[in-house]
A and B are shown apart, each in its own frame.
Chain A
Amino acid sequence: MVNRSSLRAPLRAAALVVAFVAVATGATRASAHEGHGRAAGAGTARPALAVSAAFAPDGRLWVTGLDERRRLFVQSSGDEGRSWGPRTLPPLGAEQPAAHGEQRPKLAFAADGRTVVLAWTRPLAKPYTGEIRMSRSEDGGQTFGAPFTVHRDRQQITHRFESIAFDARGRLHVLWVDKRDAELARAAAAAAGRAKSDWRGAAIWRVVSEDGGRSFSPDLRLADHSCECCRIALAPAPDGGLVALWRHVFEGSERDHAFAAVGDAAAPSPAIVRASRDRWAINACPHHGPGLAPAEGGGYHAVWFGERGGVAAVRYGRLGADGVPAGEARVLPDPSAEHADVVAAGQRVAVVWRSFDGSATRLRAWVSDDGGERFVLRELGRSPAPNDHPRLARRDDRVVVVWRTDPEIRVVPID
């Protein structure tokens, strides 16, 4: 028998050696990667430029985004961006909203002008997962309350790409891309011994609040089989509710767009209408959600990105009140156009987008004064700096483009 105590010294030595080699090896690897990181990143983190903009009922223009430390801020301007008030930082603590791809913080005002809500996606530890979070103000955006999660489902899965809006009846709607159904389908497939489920994409889920975001309905399914990585467009409906337009995954992995009414919590699941007919079959994330605006006289103006007949482009089209395409879609006059937005004020229709020309990004607009019959191309700006997708904001007949370019927020009126 070997005396145990006689082996303690060698064991200790062995443990020390293991620890030393481990630390040394790890340190060497870490240094190598840090070296690569410095070489690749030139020592500067990419700015998170994603902002959202909206006019408050009193006419001030508000934006929300992330500052240079990736903290959520809100800020307002009384002169359409020529000067800005101080930034307010809602009490998020260490929480950092997602701001990549089409993920961006959002803000919306209730008609009373006192209630302001901010919404964002909080990334979770597991890739592609998140929660939809909200912070509320009841003093017109001067102060904000502690953030909370709007949905009841607390699985560590996808709840991302939220959109928010108050409808004409004062109800606050929150919609998002959700994968609870996809996860269930995957689990069922695994239980049945199948390697893959046949679930397409994700789903659109929503909640409704009748009291300005103090409380919410249970989680409600709007539609199965949405695309996973694209923003959802919302617009007012004639009945006082909302309508939604999102990239859907139709049979054959055709990532066209779907349209549906968004009503109160008691409303049955609405019929889904195919609102674009590009028939773009692709197993990928376009990261390009649509834009939607109500048209004077009924129906909607829509913009979206897709590939049709081998031509990838941003297109403009009219939808009927039920979301069915009305007439042929038109390709924007810029093959490099991306991330377009649309708004309408009476007969004026404005479509804005950005496009990179090889040396700088251009901010361009297509403007119609006859309800979308004819458009005129306008050059609104140019920037060699990193920049965000342009977003439109409207108050009555006033339309502005908000475009964040590092380090400024540009506001360009469309007169």
Chain B
Amino acid sequence: MYPSTEPAIRHRRRGAALVFAAVMLAASVPLAPSAAPRVEPFDAEVWSRLKSTLPRPAVVVFTTSYCATCPEVFEGLGAEIRTRRPGAPLVAVVLDGESLGRRPREAHLARADRLFVFRGQQEAALRHAIDPSWRGVTPWVALIGADGAVTFGGGTPTRDRLETWARGEGMR
């Protein structure tokens, strides 16, 4: 009978609403930190493609899991980009990718717009393919200008280099 069944229906509706809410919650809220970018593979071919496909200008930071100065430089570059060229991508490439799990432990890497790892055998060959003058210093920072030109350097770029990059002027 209706009066007697009404509470049960209400309960079923509440139950259904709870289930629906739970589904929405589980589907929409990531289980791991949502800011962590998806880990992507990296090698010399990826770098070659990346230079032409990344939105410009962009900053690419080559780092390692054992580089103690990298987090501070990375955070500083992030702040510079937000100030000088909001929206420009900040990309991280970890050279010793075998130590990186599915998600980076390092907070600064989680703030990269894209995160790549190199899991190949020959780091020296990769460095040579990216920049033959790179002797292993990290962070090794690539500033990709609006014209696609790439300049490299170790650590935080000088103010002049950053200003040139941010103005979108040719960096060749």
Contact = CB atoms under 8 A, between A and B. Distances in A.
Interface residues of B, number: 63
Contact of A285 (B21, B40, B137): B137
Interface stretch (A44-52, A372-380, A396-404): A44-52
Contacts of A192: none
Contacts of B39: 33, 36-37
Contact of A40 (B8, B42, B70, B105): B42
Given A41-B120, A229-B66, A338-B135, A10 B154 contact: no
A87 B39 CA distance: 37
Contacts of A37: 39, 41, 119
Contact of B11 (A6, A22, A47): A6
Contacts of B22: 14-15, 17-18
Interface residues of A, number: 59
A30 B38 CA distance: 11
A2 B9 CA distance: 12
Contacts of B15: 7, 9-11, 13-14
Interface in A14-47: 14-15, 17-18, 21-22, 25-26, 29-30, 32-34, 36-37, 39-42, 44-47
B155 A7 contact: no
A286 B137 contact: yes
Nearest to B67: A285
Contact of B137 (A2, A284, A385): A284
Contacts of A46: 96, 98, 119-121, 123
Contacts of B125: 356
Nearest to B141: A284
A127 B64 CA distance: 11
B1 interface: no
Interface in B30-47: 30-32, 38-43
Interface in A264-286: 282-286
A25 B26 contact: yes
A229 B154 CA distance: 14
Interface string B6-27: 0110111011101101110111
Nearest to A361: B124
A342 B78 CA distance: 40
Interface string B108-150: 0000000001111111110110001101111110000000000
B145 to A, nearest CB: 21
B97 interface: yes
A25 B31 CA distance: 8
Contacts of A309: none
Contacts of A33: 38-39, 102
B50 interface: no
Interface in A355-391: 356, 358, 361, 385-386
A358 B128 contact: yes
B69 interface: yes
B156 interface: yes
B14 A284 contact: no
Contacts of B38: 32-33, 36
A242 B108 CA distance: 39
A89 B15 CA distance: 61
Scoring B7, B38, B105, B125 by chain A CB atoms within 10 A of each residue's CB, the highest score goes to: B125
A7 B8 CA distance: 10
A209 interface: no
B11 A2 contact: yes
A330 to B, nearest CB: 18
A99 to B, nearest CB: 10
Given A33-B39, A100-B66, A284 B155 contact: yes
Given A282-B137, A283-B69, A44 B121 contact: yes
A336 interface: yes
A246 interface: no
A406 B73 CA distance: 33
B136 A386 contact: no
Nearest to A14: B22
B65 interface: yes
A37 to B, nearest CB: 7
A29 B96 contact: no
Nearest to B11: A6
A202 B64 CA distance: 18
Contact of A10 (B16, B99, B120): B16
Contacts of B30: 25
A100 B69 contact: no
Contact of B73 (A21, A45, A284, A361): A284
A282 B16 CA distance: 61
A282 B154 contact: yes
A158 interface: yes
Interface of A: 2-3, 6-7, 9-11, 13-15, 17-18, 21-22, 25-26, 29-30, 32-34, 36-37, 39-42, 44-47, 98, 100-101, 103, 127-128, 158, 202, 228-229, 282-288, 305, 312, 335-336, 338, 356, 358, 361, 385-386, 406
17 contacts: A2-B7, A2-B11, A7-B11, A10-B16, A11-B18, A13-B19, A15-B22, A22-B26, A36-B40, A46-B98, A100-B96, A228-B69, A283-B69, A283-B72, A283-B156, A287-B67, A288-B136
A-B interface, 6 closest residue pairs, ranked by CB to CB distance from nearest: A10-B15, A40-B41, A41-B119, A284-B155, A21-B26, A14-B22
